[in-house]
Amino acid sequence: MRLIFIHGRALGGKDPRQMQREWELTLEKGLGAAGLKLPKGISAVLPFYGDRLDEFVAEYDMPLVADAVQKGSGGDSKEATFRAELLSEIARGCGIRDEDIQRHYVGDPNEKGPLNWKWVHSILKALDATPLGSLAIDAFTRDVYVYLAYSRVREAIDSIVLEELNSEPSVVIGHSLGSVVGYSVLSQVSYTASVQRYVTVGSPLGLDAIKKRLSTPLRMPAKVQKWFNASDVRDVVALYPLDAAHFAIKPGIIKKRDTNNHTSNRHGIAGYLADPTVAQWIFDGLK
């Protein structure tokens, strides 16, 4: 039995072995809180794509929104549309209204809208008060766009994860962007392993801007036996639960919405793996 960790973004330059050990140690804490221990004979792996993603972001020269505003970038790009859609959804989930965004907007009122970088920047400013903060949210939307918009990027990153899916049964854990990568990989038919559990944490898969850029129709990956999703209601990346209203697949995803993610931004992997319920679900798949 294998345990496969799929990490999120902003990890370029990190030591993959150290990252994997940190995931393992945190999972052990969660298991301990549940009165459990990791079963013997489990092999764990963390397919690392952090450096490759950063290379693609640099290659496509994707700016942060603030930089796009400063440089006066055109507002008719597909990137502007995607990031406006994604940020608007996140803002609505946080209870931020148009009038709240308006307070941060400087410019001609007739120019407001999803294709105007200044308006997009105003959404980000309104989101700065959230635990994750505007800078991290800005970078998140940029990196997600690069992964979803360019097929060669998705194929390259997916292949790194696919290499670790062999004939051995596994439990796959996807965090943040890693849950999107995991869904993309597991929806393919080029692997033979049975996935006993797909466990997603801090997942943005409930966001329409992301869903409509994935393979359609949305479906339960054929070789996934059960899917469990955990989120913290304060995690702005995972505000929309993976329920029938936001991610309609059959059989349905089992959800935990009351995770208490103790990390400062309420999104960190340590705050999810240390949760005893999350750890229990991983353990049950490994037995």
pLDDT, tens digit (0-9, with 9 covering 90-100), for 238-273: 999 999 999 999 999 999 999 999 999 999 999 999
CA distance 227 to 113: 37
CA distance 166 to 58: 32
Query: Could you tell me if 75 and 24 lie in one domain?
Result: no
Of residues 37, 44, 41, the one with CA closest to residue 23: 44
Query: Could you tell me if 282 and 208 lie in one domain?
Result: yes
The mean pLDDT value for 12-41 works out to 97
What's residue 203's pLDDT?
Answer: 98
What's residue 70's pLDDT?
Answer: 73
Greatest mean pLDDT among 106-115, 183-192, 224-233: 224-233
Query: Could you tell me if 175 and 41 lie in one domain?
Result: yes
* Parent domain of 68: 61-149
The reply to whether 56 falls in a domain is no
Question: What 3-state class would DSSP assign to 171?
Answer: strand
Q: Burial level of 250, CB count in 10 A (0-12/13-18/19+)?
A: exposed
* Beta-carbon count within 10 A of 71 CB: 10
Query: Could you tell me if 71 and 111 lie in one domain?
Result: yes
Q: What's the CA dihedral at 85, 87, 90, 95 to 10 degrees? A: -100
DSSP per position, 198-225: EEEES--TT-HHHHTTSSSS----TTEE
Question: What 3-state class would DSSP assign to 3?
Answer: strand
Query: Could you tell me if 7 and 84 lie in one domain?
Result: no
Could you read off the pLDDT of 112-163 as tens digits, one per residue? 555 577 888 899 999 999 999 999 999 999 999 999 999 999 999 999 999 9
